[in-house]
Amino acid sequence: ASQNRELHVFLFPFMAHGHMIPVSDMAKLFAAQGVKTTIITNTLNAPTFSKAIRSRKTNSCGCGIEIEIKTIKFPSQEAGLPEGCENLDSLPTPELAGNFFKAMGLLQAPLEQLLLEDQPTCLVADMFFPWATDAAAKFGIPRLVFHGTSFFALAASDCVWRYEPFKNTSSDSEPFVIPNLPGLIRMTRAQVPDFIKDNIENDLSRLLKQSKEAEVRSYGIVVNSFYELEPVYADYYRKVLGKKAWHIGPLSLCNRDNEEKAYRGKEASIDEHECLKWLDSKKPNSVVYVCFGSVVKFNNSQLKDIALGLEASGLEFIWVVRKGKDDDDVGKEDWLPEGFEERMEGKGLIIRGWAPQVLILDHGAVGGFVTHCGWNSTLEGIAAGLPMVTWPVAAEQFYNEKLVTQVLKIGVAVGAQKWVRVVGDSVKKEAIEKAVTQMMVGEEAEEMRNRARVLAEQARRANEKGGSSHSDLNALIEELSSQS
Ligand code: UDP
């Protein structure tokens, strides 16, 4: 490991848990290879990183691990944000997302100041910082992009954007095949974001265009995936889109052989031992885990449908419910059907707030995962060998759904149709009951579970010495070392 000492990698994640969690893991991976690693973030998010990385004090060679955290000031006032909104999940209203992205655009000068002071040899910056390519260029160092998503989503979104297949459909619900993308992948016009299909210029579409353009000029990308999961699309990205890419995932697995529990994003809202005890009392593969990531919030009517759908399925479940700060009904519980918790006593566990997700997914009693298809959750589900019910909401989640259902064939789509920013009552209880049952019971469910188990085993091997992700990480470190 000592030969990597001269390397110094700056990691600069976007301030949202779905981006920060994999970057904490990435920092541990780099550091375990003897690479000096610095995470750059803002003051309010710094404790999250220090808790996440404290869980490893030595690497496999017994050397001390060097992960430093440096902070830059978050420009709340300049971006028109209330004090304290320094993470995407802490916005009081979704409308403030524009201001949040504006703040991201103001971080270039403070980051450059740190680049000047520390002179790292490489900058890995989130795709939401397109200006990072120019910042790195000023200091003559390579900029790598971290998207936090799959090769499949990158390839599919490029094809949809480039070839605009939705233009040839007569209705929102008529499926089209994504042109030029291997695998004859189908999706509907409704599942394409409005700003793409209606060619709308707004802050988000401008940012995404800048991000694409910056990626073309960047040194390459780092992907939280493993080759065996999506070989066709990893090759497509490298050969057709012509960019250098290193797959180093599933990043969540780097915590597996850890003596301490990995801290992922927030303190869990449930005592972890209680949660595990509850699961210990259940049969193998019998419990459905339902969670929609760190950002998605459903309205009361949709929450009721989820409750009724789960109840009607007759299955046991753990359901994670997020309620926003702006909802003054947090304590009132009027989003639950009358008497629901009494009826579900012992059968269903509701976690209000933050769940120890990886711990739950990895428990043998859990048999399926209802997910919004955020890439971290999807990959954590795959690494746990679980079939899924896919319920995408926004971002690149609809593409991840197609990977799970059409390519890997380990999931059942609940039927979410529309790309939405604020989630309304779009999926009815009957659809939820049907999808969950299909995932958990019967021959098809068994086949999906078997396929998912094979993938989990491949994921584990990819991270072992000589495995595809382990080798790619070493190849990346070697290449960066030769550069510096
Ligand atoms: N997560 C968690 N507990 C929760 C909700 C989410 O630990 O109650 C973690 C989850 O394991 C994943 C991340 O938060 O690592 C969410 O990332 P993802 O890409 O799935 O979705 P996003 O939050 O970005 O929409």
More confident residue, 242 or 450: 450
Q: Please report the pLDDT score of residue 109 as a whole number.
A: 96
Determine the distance separating the centroid of ligand 1 and the alpha carbon of 292, expressed in angstroms. 7
Closest Cα to atom 24 of ligand 1: 18
In short, whether 377's Cβ falls inside 6 Å of ligand 1 is yes
- Name which residue leads in pLDDT, 150 or 301: 150
Q: Is the CB of 392 under 6 A from ligand 1?
A: no
Q: Which helix (H) or strand (E) holds 440?
A: helix 429-440
Per-residue pLDDT for 37 more than 50?
yes
- C-alpha 159/C-alpha 180 separation (Å) is 7
- The answer on pLDDT for 71 being more than 90 is yes
* Bridge-based pairing state of the strands 287-291 and 366-371: parallel
State which ligand 1 atom lies nearest to the alpha carbon of 320: 8
- In order of 129, 195, 375, 394, the CA distances from 97 in angstroms are 15, 16, 20, 14
Q: Which pTM was predicted?
A: 0.95
Rounded to the nearest angstrom, the distance between the alpha carbon of 19 and the centre of ligand 1 is: 9
User: Is residue 17 in contact with ligand 1, taking CB distance under 6 Å?
Assistant: yes
Residue 361 CA: which ligand 1 atom is closest? Answer: 11
Give mean pLDDT, residues 223-236. 98
The mean of the pLDDT values for the chain is: 91
Task: Indicate whether residue 18 lines ligand 1 (CB < 6 A).
Answer: yes
Higher pLDDT, 214 or 334: 214
Q: Where are the alpha helices (DSSP H) in 357-413?
A: 357-361, 375-383, 397-402
- State in Å: Cα 126 to ligand 1 middle: 17
3-state secondary structure 208-225: HHHHHHHHHHCCEEEECC
Closest CA to 221 of 133, 106, 139, 160: 133
Place of tokens 């989130």: 126
Cα distance between residue 333 and residue 191, in whole Å: 31
Ligand 1 pocket residue status of 295, Cβ below 6 Å: yes
Whether residue 246 has pLDDT greater than 60? yes
Res 326: pLDDT: 45
Per the structure block, which two tokens stand in for 48? 């999250």
- With CA atoms as reference, report the closest residue to 320 among 339, 340, 348: 348
Cα of 473 from ligand 1 centre, angstroms: 24
Q: Which atom of ligand 1 is nearest to the CA of 22?
A: 15
Q: Which of 478, 476, 27 shows the shortest CA–CA distance to 219?
A: 476
Q: Pull the structure tokens for residue 323.
A: 């309620």
C-alpha 412 to ligand 1 mean position (Å): 20
Q: Is 64 exposed, middle or buried (0-12, 13-18, 19+ CB in 10 A)?
A: exposed
Query: pLDDT for 459-482, tens place per residue?
Result: 999 999 999 999 999 999 999 998
Residue nearest atom 15 of ligand 1, based on CA coordinates: 376
Question: Which of 93-102, 148-157, 287-296 shows the lowest mean pLDDT across its residues?
Answer: 93-102
pLDDT over 90 (residue 150): yes
Window from 44-58, 188-202, 395-409 with minimum mean pLDDT: 44-58
What pLDDT digit, counting tens, does each position of 265-284 carry?
899 999 999 999 999 999 99
Residue that the structure tokens 């995407």 belong to:
88
pLDDT score at 93: 84
Query: Quick one: pLDDT band at residue 3, thresholds 50, 70, 90?
Result: low
Is the confidence at residue 56, as pLDDT, over 90?
A: no
SS3 label, residue 362: coil
- Inter-residue contact 19 to 148 (CB < 8 Å): yes
Catalytic residues: 19, 126
E strand or H helix at 461 = helix 443-462
Among the residue ranges 197-201, 224-228, 332-336, 444-448, the one predicted with the least confidence is 332-336
pLDDT at position 324 over 70:
no
pLDDT tens-digit readout, 360-369 = 999 999 999 9
Q: Hey, what are 484's tokens?
A: 């510096």
Check residue 329 and give its pLDDT. 46
| Mean pLDDT of the 118-136 span | 97
Tell whether ligand 1 has an atom less than 6 A from the beta carbon of residue 14.
no
What is d(CA 250, CA 254) in angstroms, rounded to the nearest whole number? 8
Ligand 1 contact via 293 beta carbon (within 6 Å): yes
Pairing of strands 67-72, 122-126: unpaired
Which token pair is 291?
């969670």
- Give the separation between CA 367 and CA 361, rounded to whole angstroms: 8
188 phi and psi angles, rounded to 5 deg: -115, 165
